[in-house]
Amino acid sequence: MKTQDSVAPDYRYLRPLKKPESATFPVYKKLEDLLTQASDHPDRVVAHALATCAGYAYSDAATLAMIMARMGLESNECRLVSQTVDAMFICSHAFLVQSDDGRVVILCYRGTQPMNFINWLTDADVNPETVPVPFADPPVSFAVHGGFYRNVRATRHEVVHALQRALDGRSVRAKGKAMPQRMEALYLTGHSLGGAMAAMMAVMLRTEPAYAPIARKLRAVYTYGQPMIGEPGLAKACDDDEFLGANLIRYVYGSDVVPQLPPTVSGPFAHFGRELHCGPGTTQDAAARTTQQLGNLTGLAIAPVAFISHQLRLFRNLPFQQSLYDHGPQHYISALTPAGVSSEYGDPG
C-alpha cells in the first residue's frame, strides 16, 4: 500500500505569472462553508468543485492539493492511498482532500488513465462477483462488476481508517495533526472508473453497520462519465435507499460512451441515482436513464472513430451516439463551471 501526503500552500503563491485583472483566487471563497451548508443536491458549486477534483485526480497529491486550494479549500491536507497489482488488474488510487479546519473531506477516486493498460483491463474485467449487500437482514446478494469491486476493496480499509481519523478530529494523513474541528461533511466523487468506485464505496458506507458513523456524515456522491457497477436488482435496491436514490448524482456529457457500459454481452447492468445531462452551457435532468445501448463489443469501435473525427474539421460535427472524445474530464469541468465563475487557472468566466 502506497501513500502520498501533501499540504496545499497558500493560494496566493499559486497565481499565474500574468493574471488577468478580473481573475481571483480562490474561485470560491470559503469553499468549506459552501460544502458544509449545501443541503439540496445537485448543487452547482458542489458539482463544479467536485468535477475539478475528479479531473485532477489523474495527477498526484501535490497537484490535487494545489488545484483544490485554488478552488477554495486553502491550506488543505491531501492524502493519496494507492495499491497496484498488475496481475490482478488492480490499479486503485483514492485521494482524501481535507479542509484546513477539518470540517470537510472529499474522497475522490482516480479514473481510467488513457495510457494505462491495466486500467483498461480493470474496466474490461466485468466477470461479476456475487456480493452480499446488507440493505436488509439477512443481506441479499447481488452481482457486481468484478474489476470495480476488487479495486475499491484494495484501498478500502486504509481509506476508512483515514475517514475515521477525520471523524475523530484528526488529519487524514497517517501521522497528521489534530484538526480544529471534526468532520461534518463527506463527499465522494470520481470520473469514469473513479466514478464507479465512488458509487460502490457509497453503497458500502450506506449498508455496512460498522461504517454507520462515517455514513452519517455523507452529504452526496457526484460522479462524471460513470459506467454501471451492478445488476438491475442492485440498482433497484440503491434507488429504494433514501440516501442513494436521491443523493448519488451522475453527470453525462454529450455522447459519452462510458455511461452505456458494460455492453449487454457482459450481462445485465443498470444505473441508479439521479442522472443529469450536461453540455456546453446546459445542464438538465435526463429524460430517461442511460441504459446498456451497445449490444456487442463491436459497437465500441464507433467511440474511437468519434474521438478521431473531433480532430478533423471536416468530420467534427458528425452526430455520433457513442464518443470517447466526450468522455474527457475537461469537458465535464467546462460544462459545469457556472457562468461568471473563473476557472482553476484564473481564467475569467
Residue 192 corresponds to which cell in the numbers above? Answer: 469514469
Name the burial class of residue 73, with classes exposed (0-12), middle (13-18) and buried (19+) by CB atoms within 10 angstroms of its CB. buried
CA distance 265 to 321: 19
How distant is the alpha carbon of residue 325 from its chain centre? Answer: 18
pTM exceeds 0.75 for this model: yes
pLDDT for position 89? 79
What does the pLDDT look like over 190-247, one tens digit per residue? 999 999 999 999 999 999 999 999 999 999 999 999 999 999 999 999 999 999 999 9
Q: Are 115 and 91 in contact (CB under 8 A)?
A: no
Cα gap 253→158, rounded to integer Å = 32
At the fourth CATH level, the homologous superfamily of domain 2-258+267-286+330-335 is: Alpha/Beta hydrolase fold, catalytic domain (3.40.50.1820)
Q: How far apart are CA 91 and CA 69, in angstroms?
A: 26
Q: Kindly list the distances between the CA atom of residue 121 and the CA atoms of 55, 57, 99, 259, in Å, as whole numbers in the listed order.
A: 21, 20, 34, 17
Rounded CA gap, 252 and 130, in Å? 28
Domain range list for the chain = 2-258+267-286+330-335
CA distance 253 to 268: 23
For the chain, residues with pLDDT lower than 70 are 7, 9-23, 113-126, 294-322, 349
Burial class (CB within 10 angstroms; exposed 0-12, middle 13-18, buried 19+) of 213: exposed
